[in-house]
Amino acid sequence: MERNQPVLPDSLKQLLPLSYNLWFSWNADAVKLYEQIDPERWERVNHNPVRMVQETSAEAWDRLASDSSYLELYSKVAAQWEQYESRKAWYGEKHPEAGGTIAYFSAEFGFHESLPIYSGGLGILAGDHCKSASDLGLPFVGVGLLYRKGYFQQRLDSSGSQQALRVDYDFNQLPVRPVQIGGSDVIVEAGVGDSQVKLKVWVVQVGRVPLYLLDADLESNSPQDRELTSQLYGGNQDMRIAQEIVLGVGGVKALRALGLQPNVYHINEGHAAFLSVERMREYVHAGVPYDTALELIRASTVFTTHTPVPAGHDAFPVGMVEHYLHPLLSQLVYEKDRILELGYDGEKDLFNMTFLAMNTASLRNGVSKLHGHVSRVMFRSFHGNIPVDDVPIGHVTNGVHMLTWLAPELQQLFDRFLPGGWVERQAESAVWEALRLLPDESLLKVHSSLKAKLIDLARRSLQEQRRRNGESEERIREAGTYLNPDALTIGFARRFATYKRANLLFKDLERLNRIVNHPERPVQFIFAGKAHPADHPGQDLIREIYRVSQMDAFKGRIVILENYDMSLARYLVQGVDIWLNNPLRPLEASGTSGEKAAMNGAVNFSVLDGWWEEGYNGTNGWAIEADPHADWHTQEQQNAESLYTNLEREIAPLYYERQEGSPQWAERMKNSIGTLAPVYNTHRMVQDYTEHFYSRTIERFRLMSMDGGEQAARLAGYKKFIREHWGALAVKAVTDDPAVPAPPGNKEVKADLYLGSIRPDYVGVEIVYYAENPRGIWDPVPVPLKPEADLGDGVFRFRGQIPSHLVHIQHYSVRIRPYHPLFAHRFEVPLLFSTVK
Q: What is the DSSP string of 609-640?
A: -HHHHHH--SSSEEEE---TTS-HHHHHHHHH
Once rounded to an integer, what is the mean pLDDT over residues 533-540?
91
pLDDT band at 641 (very low <50, low <70, confident <90, very high): very high
Domains in the chain, please, with CATH? 10-86 (no CATH), 90-395 (3.40.50.2000), 441-677 (3.40.50.2000), 729-834 (2.60.40)
- pLDDT value for 488: 97
Q: Give the three-state DSSP class for 311.
A: helix
Question: What is the model's pLDDT at position 837?
Answer: 61
What per-residue confidence (pLDDT) applies to 3?
55
Dihedral of the alpha carbons of 461, 466, 469, 474, in degrees to the nearest 10: -160
Spatial neighbors of 682 by CB under 8 A, at least 6 apart, are: 128, 129, 131, 132, 399, 400, 401, 402
Ranking 53-67, 134-148, 664-678, 775-789 by mean pLDDT, the lowest is 775-789
Which among 576, 571, 600 has a CA at the least distance from the CA of 677? Answer: 600
Are residues 152 and 168 in contact, defined by beta-carbon separation less than 8 angstroms?
no
Specify the pLDDT at position 744. Answer: 86
Per-residue confidence band for 240, with pLDDT thresholds at 50, 70 and 90: very high
| pLDDT tens column, 162-205 | 999 989 999 999 999 999 999 999 999 999 999 999 999 999 99
On the question of pLDDT at 836 being above 90, the answer is no
Average pLDDT over residues 201-225: 97
pLDDT in tens, 588-633: 999 999 999 999 999 999 999 999 999 999 999 999 999 988 998 9
Give the pLDDT band of residue 808 (cuts 50, 70, 90). Answer: confident
> Residues, the chain, total?
837
Mean pLDDT check: name the lowest of 77-81, 262-266, 530-534: 530-534
pLDDT surpassing 90 at residue 96: no
User: Phi first, then psi: what are they for 114, rounded to 5°?
Assistant: -75, -10
C-alpha distance from residue 233 to each of 56, 179, 216, 242, 310 (Å) = 35, 25, 15, 12, 18
519 vs 743, higher pLDDT: 519
Are the beta carbons of 138 and 91 closer than 8 angstroms?
yes
Q: What is the mean pLDDT of residues 316-331?
A: 97
Cα 63 to Cα 48, 71, 93, 258, 384: the distances in Å are: 21, 11, 44, 41, 71
Please give the Cα distance from 217 to 223 (Å, whole number). Answer: 8
Residue 1, pLDDT above cutoff 50: no
**pLDDT reported for residue 778:** 84
Contact 786, 760 (CB under 8 A): no
* DSSP string covering 210-271: EEEEEE---TTS-HHHHGGGTSTT-S-HHHHHHHHHIIIIIHHHHHHHTT---SEEEEESGG
Among 485-489, 674-678, 832-836, where is mean pLDDT lowest?
A: 832-836
Other C-beta atoms closer than 10 Å to the C-beta of 732 total: 12
Q: Average model confidence (pLDDT) for the chain?
A: 95
Q: 703-738: per-residue pLDDT in tens?
A: 999 999 999 999 999 999 999 999 999 999 999 877
Long-range Cβ contacts of 39-44 (<8 Å, 24+ apart): none
Q: Confidence band (pLDDT; 50, 70, 90) for 4?
A: low
Q: What are the phi and psi torsion angles at 377 (to 5°)? A: -65, -45
